[in-house]
Amino acid sequence: MCSASVQHIPNNIQSSISKLKVGSINSNSSNIAFIIASAITAKYDKPIDLDLITVYLQAQRNLENSHYSLLDIKKTFENFNISVAAKKNASPFDLLSLSNEILIGIDQQDQFFALVGSSQEYVYLIYGIMNRKALICPLKKSLFIQNFTTNKFLILR
């Protein structure tokens, strides 16, 4: 559903994401760490060490099971003293009422994302890093609601 867009990414999202220092994104752990760090900086505007998150995530996994779950991500937030709430099967009305919250979820292709902001018409999803740049997807709110409301979310309040 993400495609090249002429939509301008809001300055507050660009400035918070630009504060993250991107090292070598060479693993699933480091890509998920970027999504987690993006959510933290978008919500709290505080510096966060991507490498520290990556090391923590990798310590939680063993070589046989490299797939992460929302529970793993929730534990990671809690390890860094950030409170998150889990929500299952949110209704479109629940999502439309969110204003200052940051969501972490999984899309229909089992890809993690962070919803880091919204405008009147769009939500802005971060999917990680591609070619050393943040992959930010502006998505119409109507499409987001149609495609993501049956999933589980973590919410940073």
Q: What domains, with CATH codes, occur in the chain?
A: 11-156 (3.90.70.10)
- Vertex 142 angle, CA 117 and 148, to 5°: 75
How far is residue 8 from each of residues 11, 39, 41, 63, measured CA to CA in Å?
9, 19, 19, 40
Over range 116-137, report the average pLDDT. Answer: 82
β-pair type (152-156, 133-140): unpaired
Does residue 113 sit in helix, strand or coil?
A: strand
Please say whether the beta carbons of 58 and 29 come within 8 A: yes
Give the list of residues 6+ apart from residue 12 with CB closer than 8 angstroms, or none.
Answer: 42, 117
Q: Which tens digit of pLDDT belongs to each residue from 16-75?
A: 887 787 666 667 788 899 999 999 988 888 878 888 998 888 887 765 566 888 889 999
The H or E element that residue 135 is part of is: strand 133-140
Q: Is 94 exposed, middle or buried (0-12, 13-18, 19+ CB in 10 A)?
A: middle
Amino acid 39: pLDDT: 92
Rounded to two decimals, what is the model's pTM? 0.85
For residues 33 and 39, what is the distance between their CA atoms, to the nearest angstrom? 10
